[in-house]
Amino acid sequence: MTTSRPDHRALAGALRYRVLEGRGMSDHATRKAAADRAAGGPAMSVPYDDLANQIGECSHRVTDAQVEGVVQAAGSEKAAFEIIAAAAMGAGLVRWRLAVKALKEASDASAGN
């Protein structure tokens, strides 16, 4: 029995769909905004913006106060976790997208030669 390579695109898409469109304690718009912000996108409302931007740019500098602010604003630790996960995912998937684009362009150029 042969095992095929993972379908990374499908797996990345499933993660993105689940986090941004799936049911949760936080609203979809806030999760999407956090994902976009951590990927370098537009600012969000306070206190979410601080945390999402920090997660994107320099996550090791996230503070207790930033996380606690989002726990209070979002209404629960679970909701805050969803926003943290969305922001982390946004920063990772923008890198996935840019890297895969570079790979595809190089592969297409190589196939054309």
Partner 1 sequence: MRLREIDRGDSIFNRLLIGLISLVSGMRLPDAARVAFYHKDFFSSPMGAWTQAAMRGPSAWSVGDRELMAALVAKWNSCDFCVGAHGAVAAKGIERSLVDTALADYRAAPISDGLKATLEFLEAMTLRPTELTAESAAVVFEAGVSAEALEDAIAVGAIFNIVTRYANALDFALPTANEFDRAASMLLKRGYA
Q: Which residues bind partner 1 (CB under 8 A)?
A: 3-6, 8, 11-12, 14-15, 18-19, 22-24, 38, 51, 54-56, 58-60, 62, 64, 67-68, 71, 77-78, 80-82, 84-85, 87-89, 91-96, 98-103, 105-107, 109-110
CB 78 within 8 A of CB 71: no
**What span, in angstroms and rounded, lies between the C-alpha atoms of 47 and 52?**
9
Closest distance of CB 43 from partner 1, Å: 18
Closest to partner 1 by CB, 9 vs 43, is 9
What letter would DSSP give residue 89? H
Instruction: Name which of 46 and 105 has its Cβ closer to partner 1.
Output: 105
Q: How far is the CB of 44 from partner 1 (least distance, A)?
A: 15
> Residue for token digits 């196939």?
111
CB of 71 to partner 1, least distance (A): 8
CB of residue 32 to partner 1, shortest distance in Å: 15
Buried b (16+ CB within 10 A) or exposed e, 43-75: ebeebbebbbbbbbeeeeeeeeebbebbbebbe
